[in-house]
Amino acid sequence: MRILFIADPLEHFKIYKDTTFAMMEEAHRRGHAISFAEARQLSVEGGRVLVDAADLAVTEDRPVWYKLGQTLRQPLTAFSAVVMRKDPPFDMEYLYASQLFSLAEAQGVKVFTSGQALRDFNEKLAILHFPDLISPTLISGEAARLRAFVNQHQDVILKPLDSMGGDSIFRVRPDDANLSVIIETITLRGARTIMAQRYIPEIRDGDKRILVIDGEPVDYCLARIPAAGETRGNLAAGGRGEARPLTERDREIARAVAPELKKRGILLAGLDVIGHYLTEVNVTSPTCFREIMDQAEINVAGLYIDALERHCQH
127 φ/ψ angles, rounded to the nearest 5 degrees: -65, -20
d(CA 100, CA 267): 19
d(CA 23, CA 293): 12
Question: Which of these is catalytic: 105, 282, 290, 291?
Answer: 282
DSSP assigned state of 8 = S
Q: Annotated catalytic residue: which of 18, 26, 280, 291?
A: 280
Residue 280 catalytic? yes
Whole-number Å distance between alpha carbons of 98 and 107: 14
263 is catalytic: no
Q: Which of 4, 74, 60 is nearest to 312 (CA)?
A: 4
Q: Is 73 a catalytic residue?
A: no
- 153 CA to centre of own chain: 28
Rounded distance between C-alpha atoms, residue 309 and residue 311, angstroms: 6
Known active-site residue 272: yes
To the query of whether residue 310 is one of the catalytic residues in this protein, the response is no
The answer to whether 139 touches 193, Cβ cutoff 8 Å, is yes
Among 124, 198, 208, 264, the active-site one is 124
Catalytic residue among 209, 234, 264, 291: 209
- End-to-end distance of the chain based on CA atoms, in angstroms? 13
Report the residue count for the chain.
314
Catalytic residue (one of 208, 224, 264, 290)? 224
Q: Is 124 a catalytic residue?
A: yes
* Active-site annotation holder among 159, 198, 208, 290: 159
Residue pair 77/106 in contact by the 8 Å Cβ criterion: no
Hey, which residues are catalytic here? 124, 159, 209, 224, 232, 272, 280, 282
